[in-house]
C-alpha cells in the first residue's frame, strides 16, 4: 500500500559543495600567471604544466596553501599535520592531463563550522566537513555546428573545495550559509566572490526526510549554480519536485541535475546508478605536505578580525545598533573606512549615520559598489572634516549633502568647497529674522491659515524661508524665528 504523507512532515536536508578559486598570482603547480578567465584572451595564460605535457613536474604553490589554510581557520577547522595530494582520474577535454590533482584522504582542513543567522534572529551552527586543495579545469564553450572551444587559462588555477555536512534544513538556510561564506572569502581577500565569472561555484545536495527516518534518504545534486539567488530557487524547486514524487508513492532516483533559470525548472542531466570511479591514488610527483604548528600559527596571525567579531566590537565598544553594525561590516573596506573616520575624532553614531545614510545613498545613485569605498576621490580624513563642519554647525544636513556631492565630483577638500561656494550655514540671527519677516510678508494666506489652526503649514513656511536662505539657514534658528512670529 502506498503511504501518503502530509506535506508538512517532510524535512529538507541540504549539504553544499563549494568551489572557490584562490586569487594567487600564479597557478597551483606552476609559475604560470592566473588571469581573469572572462576578460583575458583564451589560452593566453597557459604553460607546459597547465597543459600537462609529458615530462613536466608540478611544484606546490605555497601562497595557495596558505590562502586555503586561512579559509580553513576562518571556518573554524582543524588543520591536520599531514596533508597529501592525490590523483583523481577521469577523461574530459577540459582536463588535459586526464587527471586532476586533488586531495582525498588527507585534506587541508577538517571539522569546522559556520554560525549562520536565521530570520527569527537565532543562530544555527552548520558543520563544515572538510576543505581541500585542488586545481581548476579549463573551460569549454559549445558553439554551433557541434563544436566545442577549449580555453586552458583556468586549468591549474588553485581551487579550494569546501564541503558542508547536510545540516541545512531549508533553501533560506542554504542561502544564508552561502552569503556568509562568500563574505568570509571576500573579507580574507582570497576570492572576489564574483559568481558571474565562475570564481565561486556552489553545488547543492538535496533530499527530504521524515522525522522518524533512521537514515538519510537518496539525494540529488544540483550543479552549475551561478548565483546565490539561482541556487536558492533551484533548491526550492527541487524540494517541491521530490515532495511530489514521494506523495505519488514513487521512488527518488539519485541524479545529477541542472537549473534552467529562464524556465525556472530543474533539468535531469544524468541518473547515477553507482558512485563515480575516480581511481584515487597518491600523487607520485608531489611530496606529502607537513603542516607544522608554527606554520599554522604564523598563518593564523595573518587573518584579519572577521566580520562577526568586528560587528560585535562596534556594538559593544562603540554602542552602535545591530543594523548599523551589520551594514558597516558588510565589506571589509567599509569597516576600515568607518574606523578611519573615527580615528579623525568623529563620534561613532555620527560617522555611522552619515556613512549608512548620505554616503551609501550617493554610492547607490552612482552605481558604485561598496567595496570600492576606499577608492573614492576623497578619503576618510576628508569625509571626517565634512562631518566636523556638521557637528560644529557650519553646515546643515542639506548643504553637507551638497558638499559631499561636490567632493565626489572633484575630490576637493570640504573646507575649500564651502569657502568657494559660500555654503557656510547662516546662524546670524539678524539675517535669519530679516529673511523670515520677508517670507511671512509674502505668504499672507499661509500665515492666516496657520493662525486659524493649520499648524502643519509650519513645514511649508520653513521650506520657503530655507529656500530664501539658499538652503544655508541653521534649521533650528529658522524654526525658532518663524514660531516666535507666528505664535504671537
- Which residue ranges make up the site for ligand ADP (CB under 6 A)? 13-17, 163-166, 205-207, 216-217, 219
| Closer residue to ligand ADP, CB minimum distance, 135 or 203 | 203
Q: Which residues contact 325 (CB under 8 A, 6 or more apart)?
A: 311, 312, 314, 315
* Nearest residue relative to ligand ADP (C-beta): 15
Nearest alpha-carbon partner for 164 in 210, 125, 216:
125
Q: Considering the complex, what minimum distance in angstroms separates the CB of residue 77 from ligand ADP?
A: 15
Q: What's the closest the beta carbon of residue 112 comes to ligand ADP, in angstroms? A: 13
Whichever of 161 and 180 has its CB closer to Mg ion, that residue is 161
CA 192, CA 194: separation in Å to the nearest integer?
A: 5
Q: Closest approach of Cβ 25 to ligand ADP, in Å?
A: 31
- Nearest approach, Cβ of 188 to ligand ADP (angstroms)? 22
Indicate which of Mg ion, ligand ADP, none lies near residue 166 (CB less than 5 to 8 Å, by partner kind): ligand ADP
Closest approach of Cβ 205 to ligand ADP, in Å? Answer: 3
User: Residue 163 CB, nearest distance to Mg ion (Å)?
Assistant: 9
Instruction: Tell me whether residue 216 or residue 323 sits nearer to ligand ADP (CB atom).
Output: 216
The item of ligand ADP, Mg ion, none sharing an interface with residue 164, based on CB under 5 to 8 Å by kind, is ligand ADP
C-alpha neighbours within 13 Å on the C-beta side of residue 34: 22
The partner in contact with residue 207, picked from Mg ion, ligand ADP, none with C-beta cut-offs of 5 to 8 angstroms by kind, is ligand ADP
Q: How far is the CB of 133 from Mg ion (least distance, A)?
A: 10
The whole-angstrom separation of Cα 128 and Cα 435 is: 67
Which partner in ligand ADP, Mg ion, none is near 14 (CB below 5 to 8 A by kind)?
ligand ADP
The strand pairing partners of 289, in sequence order, are 83
Pick what 216 binds: Mg ion, ligand ADP, none; C-beta below 5 to 8 Å, kind-dependent: ligand ADP
Q: How far apart are CA 225 and CA 458, in angstroms?
A: 56
Question: Degrees (nearest 5) of the Cα angle 401, 407, 411?
Answer: 170
| Helical (H) or strand (E) element with 140 | strand 139-143
* Cα 306 → chain centroid: 13
Sheet of 99-102, strands arranged across: 99-102, 86-89, 281-282
- At its nearest, how many Å lie between ligand ADP and the CB of residue 219? 4
Q: Which among 375, 332, 314, 384 has a CA at the least distance from the CA of 355?
A: 384
**Interface with Mg ion, residue 161, by CB under 5 A:** yes
The residue (of 161 and 283) whose beta carbon lies closer to Mg ion is 161
Based on C-alpha coordinates, what's the Rg of the chain? 30
The counts of H helices and E strands in the chain are 16, 15
Shortest CB 198 distance to Mg ion, Å = 15
Nearer to ligand ADP, 205 or 399 (CB): 205
The CB-nearest residue to Mg ion is: 161
Q: Is residue 126 within a helix (H) or strand (E), and if so which, with residue range?
A: strand 123-135
Minimum CB distance to ligand ADP smaller for 30 or for 220 = 220
Looking at the Cβ atoms of 4 and 275, the one nearer to ligand ADP is: 275
- How many Cβ atoms sit within 10 Å of the Cβ of residue 102? 19
Residue 203 found at the interface with Mg ion (CB under 5 A):
no
* Alpha-carbon gap, residue 188 to 366, rounded angstroms: 27
23 contact, one of ligand ADP, Mg ion, none, CB 5-8 Å limit per kind: none
Residues touching Mg ion, count (CB under 5 A): 1
The H-or-E segment that residue 481 falls in is helix 475-486
Interface with Mg ion by CB under 5 A: which range of 154-162, 353-361, 399-407, 480-488?
154-162
Widest CA span in the chain: 98
Name which of Mg ion, ligand ADP, none residue 161 binds, using a CB cut-off of 5 to 8 Å depending on partner kind.
Answer: Mg ion
Close Cβ partners of 312 (under 8 Å, ≥ 6 residues apart):
325
Which region among 160-168, 234-242, 267-275, 471-479 touches Mg ion (by CB under 5 A)?
160-168
Lookup: cell for 17? 559543495
CB 284 within 8 A of CB 167: no
Q: Which does 268 bind (CB under 5 to 8 A by kind): Mg ion, ligand ADP, none?
A: none
Classify residue 335 by its DSSP letter.
H
Rounded CA separation 317/352 (Å): 14
Shortest distance (Å) from residue 289 CB to ligand ADP: 21
The partner in contact with residue 11, picked from Mg ion, ligand ADP, none with C-beta cut-offs of 5 to 8 angstroms by kind, is none
Q: Kindly state whether residue 136 participates in binding Mg ion, applying the rule CB under 5 A.
A: no
Q: Please report, as ranges, the residues that interact with Mg ion according to CB under 5 A.
A: 161
Amino acid at each position: 500500500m502506498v503511504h501518503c504523507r502530509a506535506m508538512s512532515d517532510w524535512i529538507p536536508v541540504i549539504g553544499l559543495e563549494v568551489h572557490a578559486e584562490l586569487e594567487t598570482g600564479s597557478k597551483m603547480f606552476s609559475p604560470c600567471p592566473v588571469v581573469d578567465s572572462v576578460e583575458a584572451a583564451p589560452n593566453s595564460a597557459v604553460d607546459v604544466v597547465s597543459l600537462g605535457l609529458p615530462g613536466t613536474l608540478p611544484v606546490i604553490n605555497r601562497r595557495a596553501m596558505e590562502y586555503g589554510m586561512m579559509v580553513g581557520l576562518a571556518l573554524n577547522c582543524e588543520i591536520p599535520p599531514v596533508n597529501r595530494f592525490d590523483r583523481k582520474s577521469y577523461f574530459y577535454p577540459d582536463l588535459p592531463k586526464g587527471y586532476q590533482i586533488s586531495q582525498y584522504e588527507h585534506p587541508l582542513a577538517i571539522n569546522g563550522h559556520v554560525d549562520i543567522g536565521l530570520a527569527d534572529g537565532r543562530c544555527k551552527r552548520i558543520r563544515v566537513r572538510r576543505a581541500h586543495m585542488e586545481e581548476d579545469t579549463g573551460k569549454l564553450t559549445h558553439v554551433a555546428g557541434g563544436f566545442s572551444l577549449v580555453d586552458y587559462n583556468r586549468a591549474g588555477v588553485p581551487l579550494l573545495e569546501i564541503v558542508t555536512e547536510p545540516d541545512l534544513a531549508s533553501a533560506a538556510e542554504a542561502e544564508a550559509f552561502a552569503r556568509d561564506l562568500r563574505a568570509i572569502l571576500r573579507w580574507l581577500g582570497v576570492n572576489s566572490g564574483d559568481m558571474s565569472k565562475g570564481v565561486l561555484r556552489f553545488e547543492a545536495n538535496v533530499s527530504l526526510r521524515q522525522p522518524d527516518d533512521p537514515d538519510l534518504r537518496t539525494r540529488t545534486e544540483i550543479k552549475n549554480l551561478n548565483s546565490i539567488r539561482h541556487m536558492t530557487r533551484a533548491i526550492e524547486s527541487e524540494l517541491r519536485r521530490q515532495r511530489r514524487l514521494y506523495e505519488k508513492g514513487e521512488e527518488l532516483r539519485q541524479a545529477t541535475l541542472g537549473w534552467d533559470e529562464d524556465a525556472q525548472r530543474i533539468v535531469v542531466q544524468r541518473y547515477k546508478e553507482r558512485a563515480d570511479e575516480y581511481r584515487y591514488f597518491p600523487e607520485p610527483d608531489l611530496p606529502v605536505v607537513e603542516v607544522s604548528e608554527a606554520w599554522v600559527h604564523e598563518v593564523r596571525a595573518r587573518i584579519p578580525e572577521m566580520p562577526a567579531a568586528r560587528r560585535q566590537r562596534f556594538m559593544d565598544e562603540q554602542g552602535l545598533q545591530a543594523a548599523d553594525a551589520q551594514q558597516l561590516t558588510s565589506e571589509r573596506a567599509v569597516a576600515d573606512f568607518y574606523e578611519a573616520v573615527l580615528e579623525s575624532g568623529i563620534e561613532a553614531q555620527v560617522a555611522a549615520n552619515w556613512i549608512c545614510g548620505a554616503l551609501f545613498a550617493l554610492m547607490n545613485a552612482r552605481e558604485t559598489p561598496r567595496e570600492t569605498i576606499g577608492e573614492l576621490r576623497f578619503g576618510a580624513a576628508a569625509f571626517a572634516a565634512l562631518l566636523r563642519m556638521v557637528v560644529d554647525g557650519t553646515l546643515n544636513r542639506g548643504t553637507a549633502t551638497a558638499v559631499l556631492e561636490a567632493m565626489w565630483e572633484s575630490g576637493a577638500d570640504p573646507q575649500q568647497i564651502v569657502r568657494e561656494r559660500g555654503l557656510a550655514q547662516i546662524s546670524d540671527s539678524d539675517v535669519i529674522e530679516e529673511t523670515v519677516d520677508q517670507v511671512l510678508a509674502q505668504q499672507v494666506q499661509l500665515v492666516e491659515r496657520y493662525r486659524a489652526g493649520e499648524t502643519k503649514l509650519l513645514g511649508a513656511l520653513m521650506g520657503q524661508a530655507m529656500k530664501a536662505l539658499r538652503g544655508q539657514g541653521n534649521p533650528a534658528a529658522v524654526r525658532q524665528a518663524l514660531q516666535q512670529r507666528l505664535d504671537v
